[in-house]
Structure 1
Amino acid sequence: MSASPLHVLVIGYAWPEPTSPAAGGHMMQILESFLAHGWRITFSSPAAIGKHKADLASLGIGEQVIELNGDSFERFVSELAPDVVLFDRFMMEEQFGWRVEKHCPDALRVLETSELQSLREARHVLLRRRLTHGLDPNDFRELFATSGPDLYRQMAPTDLTQRELAAIYRCDLSLMISDVEINLLVNGFGVPPDLLHWCPLMLQVPSTAPRPFAERAHFISIGNLRHAPDWDAVLWMKHNIWPMIRRRLPDAQLHIYGAYAPAKAAALHSVEDGFLMFERADDALEVMGKARVCLAPLRFGAGIKSELTDALQVGTPSVTTPIGTEAMHGALPWPGLVSGTAEGLVEAAASLYSDEARWNQAQRDTRQLLGARYDRRWHSQTLVERIEQTLQDLPAQRLYNFTGAMLRHHQHKNAQYLEQWLEAKNRLTDDAADKCP
């Protein structure tokens, strides 16, 4: 254990928004874990500050707006001298990692991956390929069953995968929200397990009983509509799935809450069809807790799905695909129904919505799953312990992570060459200006 509280610098891709989907909520859970252990935190980001930003200052967290380019960040990080630097997604490590290496070489480098973006993109490519080849637009069982080796072959040649894996190797520890992704990295790409830590969403079992079947109505879907998998699911529901459900349940409605909804989303709204589009839910758990079934027909994606963990917390059974349940429930029963076809999802939705006994069992399963897999106290404690242990063993770990050392070396050297080139270019420009009459 550390003799004094650690000082953690977070370099955020965005300022955390607790009411936004998984990434913002997960970052807040990580910060709260550090605060509970008495650590000092400074949160920095080059992103614009949005109106839904968390009030970090009220939690005792320092805030600093940083620039993507220029010397100000280097002065800032050098003066701050943090013990731990947490990069929020690999793009932040790419941009700022070499500067941290230059000024704070002994700081522990932690990467919050949020999800494997390269896995999500590979699945998106496979989906588009299937759709453009004119295959059945409602049967995706073969797509969902894509094997690990096939995913590796799709991912390995891509620039995105190579960038993401390079950042994982350059860091001392990467936080993985999905144990399925850990398995892919270790057994597919050969990443040493010592570089990875399973850290899913950290949740609590509610102290009050969820609303019963009779007090709920309608279907619900919640997402970030700038997030490609969520938008794709909305379109699939609109054009394929919901019309079939509506024929089975003519009085049912589908309420879709979308953060960052594009203007084109408004055109999908139809009171006559019971397909209702809403803006961001101020309280996602409140609206989720009033719905009878969560509908999440995801055709591609990665990580774990925030709307499904929202459903777990308020006892709302769900209907989704194998992509939706991936890394969510382990060996425990899924609290709802799962299908890989549009027709199967429609049958599951109609059955779960109408069958009170089946619905009640699914609701009981939400509580079991929440306590067994997402326990906040356990994951918070193991995260802190893993960081402290890795910091203690840092010299040995870096010695044996030769690939990471090599990648950091070249990243740093390339940055030096770029700086030297820019300095030389500026000198030439200044000399030319001096010679002008």
Structure 2
Amino acid sequence: MSMSLADARYHLNRIIGLARRGLASLRTRGWRATLHRVGVHTRRQPPTEREPLYFPQPAAFAPFSVPSSAQPTASIVIPVYNHADHTLACLRALAAHPPVAACEILVIDDGSSDATVEWMPQITGLRYHVRPHNGGFIAACNDGLRLSRGEYVVLLNNDTIPQSGWLDALLDTFARTPQAGLVGSQLIYPDGRLQEAGGVVFNDGSCWSYGRFESAEDPRYSALRDADYCSGAAIALPRALFEQLGGFDSRYAPAYYEDTDLAFKVRAAGKRVLVQPASRVVHDEGTSNGTDTGSGVKAYQVRNQKVFAEVWQQTLQAQHPAPGAVPSPALLHARQRQILIIDENLPQPDRDSASLRQFNLIRMLLAEGAHVVFLPTRGEPASAASAALQALGVEVWHAPFLDGVGSWLRGNGSRFAVVMLVRHHVARECLPLLRQFAPQARTVFDTVDLHYLRERRGAELARDQRLLRSAERTRAAELEVMAATDVTLLVSAAEKEQLATDAPQVRVELISNLHEVAEVGPGWVQRHDLVFVGGFRHPPNLDAMQWFIGEVFPLIHAQRPDIRFHCIGADVPDSLQALAADQPGVTIHGYVPDVVPYMRQARIAVAPLRFGAGVKGKVNLSMAHGQPVVATTCAVEGMHLRHGLDVLVADGASAFAGAVLRLYDDAGLWQRLADNGQANITEHFSMEAARQAVQRVFFATPAGTVPIR
């Protein structure tokens, strides 16, 4: 495929941007760190594969036990009619990987005449029920519903091999998605190809198994997603809801379309039907009834399509596409607001405040009904970060399925109403592509913070004219992007005032850091020590810790040697480790996967930043957990904080150390700052505080506050 002019401009801008950022990194980080970052950017990442599929080893029958509970959370109902070897393999898989959740397993025998009747009674923990006569799949499932005792009923075909974690992934979906009414597994063929990631129903009642024969790791099929239906081979729903809906409808007896009809009833009851790709189940499709729709039980599939289409005629005509089109994300999400986020990397909310803000913004967009797609320009492989977004329902593109930003936008750009570009160098690289492939989309530039303001302050602190000139180049680049996009997102009122002077023509909206206020933690008397949280690829954090550990903490330690200081953050340089090694009372923890214990146990958080821009997530994070903060003037800029009421503000080593010691021993002051800090988060940095701005930026119509180009 020939390269377009827009593609060429993208690659040119990317090369220029990488060169500029490399030079800036050399000035601020040194050659070792810069060489490392260049290596990360240029290294071709191999694709990450999921855990290999599990299959029990074939062996002659011998008695064994399966998970069981007298008070189950989930009742796994397995309807069977002969095919004892398949049932045995399914049960062995369940025994090999018992779920965390308490469960019971019911085998409902619909009149088997093979080894089923001999083997099943010998399996310890299994509830084995023999029906008086053969009635078909629907009758057997409804019997299982009546016999079940769990909060959730999980229907599982006997020709399946559930993979490790499959049940817990289904049940977790109900816990994390309050409106979930029915959740289905990702069904996989024994050879590893995808059989179904939920089903699509057309307006004539015909169905399409979404993703059939594709890779099970393809981004189109790897995220939590609303589906028209999920195959009854592996589905879960609350038992109370299943009973309320009357179980499977007997008009579809003996089988076929009963699961589709159930999904439509769940939606009609106001609940969501979801497919959960984290729940993987191998399904040997066609074992029970074959695949020939011209004869046998399978022939009911043709008959029942007509029954189903008649029952749901109005819904089908009003909400479902006509047959013929191959289902794609563009088609399946056509009724939703589709929003694309382009950033260099995926957010890692456990590592930096910008990622946490982005992650929570995505949660807000999803809660408002949008379909969110994330495109990382680095094209990194699947990872824990991509899995976290997919668990929310975000369509995340990654290697090897993402060939390139330009080619991806060529095929997908037309489906988006809004595109958010994160950081000025990413925006500058991608804007030519968006003008060509997504001209209809509103472009949103998320600054994260004003980079040029942060760089300028760092240069002034260092008294470095080269850094000042670099900051001016960054300023020109950022303002150029702002002028070329529809709206610019800022994180602080102070930055909004700065732009009113530097670029008054730019259309801006304020969406600051987004936090949830934590429940009240331990009080003053139960807490001890000091803590700082911040990643060290961010130059202001490194400077802050060099100053605090080298000049401030020794003053604190001299008066109170019992107070320890805990420094938390990824990518700690050797120079900081060496500095801390010479200072008694200092512990460098590096990256910590869960900082909440430190937010709840440390008495005071410190934010000794001497330069920077934007809103400081470390301050927000502590206040959200009711942990008072001592900070510099720079660290609280634009955060609506009052000295002595919400925070203690001090500049200079002696003043900062004095403020820490004062707060450490004053229980009344400590409690006032703790209470007011949480109130500040609720008023200025909560999801609710940002809701109106999010509506204006991402959901306004052309007549709204923010214009669409």
TM over 0.5: yes
Residue in 1 that maps onto 2:419: 85
Cα 1:155–1:352, aligned 2, differ >3 Å: closer, same or farther? farther
Give unmatched runs, 5+ long, in structure 2: 1-333
C-alpha contact 1:316 1:363 (8 A) present in aligned 2 = yes
C-alpha contact 1:293 1:318 (8 A) present in aligned 2 = yes
Residue in 2 that maps onto 1:60: 393
Is 1:286 equivalent to 2:603 in the alignment? no
Query: Using the alignment, how far apart are the partners of 2:549 and 2:382 within structure 1?
Result: 30
- Partner SS, residue 430 of structure 2: helix
Q: CA deviation at 1:264?
A: 3.2
Residue in 2 that maps onto 1:182: 496
Query: Using the alignment, how far apart are the partners of 1:91 and 1:61 within structure 2?
Result: 24
Map 1:108-119 → 2, pairs under 5 A = 108-119=442-453
Residues paired across the two proteins, number: 369
Cα 1:293–1:271, aligned 2, differ >3 Å: closer, same or farther? farther
Q: CA deviation at 1:202?
A: 1.9
Worse-matched range after superposition: 289-298 or 40-49: 40-49
Query: Using the alignment, how far apart are the partners of 1:212 and 1:251 within structure 2?
Result: 19
Map 1:24-63 → 2, pairs under 5 A = 24-47=355-378, 48=380, 53-54=385-386, 55-63=388-396
Query: Using the alignment, how far apart are the partners of 2:403 and 2:516 within structure 1?
Result: 42
Residue in 2 that maps onto 1:106: 440
C-alpha contact 2:528 2:601 (8 A) present in aligned 1 = yes
Is 1:162 equivalent to 2:447 in the alignment? no
Cα 1:66–1:180, aligned 2, differ >3 Å: closer, same or farther? farther
Query: Using the alignment, how far apart are the partners of 1:239 and 1:213 within structure 2?
Result: 27
Q: Deviations over 1:152-203 (max 9, x none)?
A: xx789811100011111111111111111011001333233xx111001122
Query: Using the alignment, how far apart are the partners of 2:644 and 2:638 within structure 1?
Result: 13
Is 1:16 equivalent to 2:347 in the alignment? yes
Worse-matched range after superposition: 116-125 or 73-82: 73-82
Q: CA deviation at 1:348?
A: 0.2
Query: Using the alignment, how far apart are the partners of 2:706 and 2:646 within structure 1?
Result: 45
Map 1:289-308 → 2, pairs under 5 A = 289-308=600-619
Query: Using the alignment, how far apart are the partners of 1:393 and 1:176 within structure 2?
Result: 19
Map 1:361-372 → 2, pairs under 5 A = 361-372=672-683
Query: Using the alignment, how far apart are the partners of 1:60 and 1:116 within structure 2?
Result: 30
Amino acid at match of 1:38: G
Q: CA deviation at 1:385?
A: 3.1
Is 1:76 equivalent to 2:408 in the alignment? yes
Q: Deviations over 1:398-426 (max 9, x none)?
A: 5xxxxxxxxxxxxxxxxxxxxxxxxxxxx
Map 1:369-384 → 2, pairs under 5 A = 369-384=680-695
Query: Using the alignment, how far apart are the partners of 2:461 and 2:382 within structure 1?
Result: 33
C-alpha contact 2:351 2:569 (8 A) present in aligned 1 = no
Give unmatched runs, 5+ long, in structure 1: 133-153, 399-437
C-alpha contact 2:491 2:513 (8 A) present in aligned 1 = yes
Q: CA deviation at 1:327?
A: 1.1
Map 1:6-405 → 2, pairs under 5 A = 6-47=337-378, 48=380, 53-54=385-386, 55-65=388-398, 72-80=404-412, 81=414, 82-129=416-463, 158-192=472-506, 195-206=507-518, 208-270=519-581, 273-329=584-640, 335-389=646-700, 391-392=702-703
| Larger Rg belongs to | 2
Q: CA deviation at 1:262?
A: 2.4
Cα 1:341–1:187, aligned 2, differ >3 Å: closer, same or farther? same
- Partner SS, residue 698 of structure 2: helix
* Larger RCO: 1 or 2 (CA < 8 Å, sep 6+): 1
Q: TM-score, normalised by structure 2?
A: 0.49
Query: Using the alignment, how far apart are the partners of 1:30 and 1:324 within structure 2?
Result: 23
- Partner SS, residue 224 of structure 1: coil
Amino acid at match of 2:419: V
C-alpha contact 1:284 1:310 (8 A) present in aligned 2 = no
C-alpha contact 2:517 2:625 (8 A) present in aligned 1 = no
Query: Using the alignment, how far apart are the partners of 2:642 and 2:443 within structure 1?
Result: 33
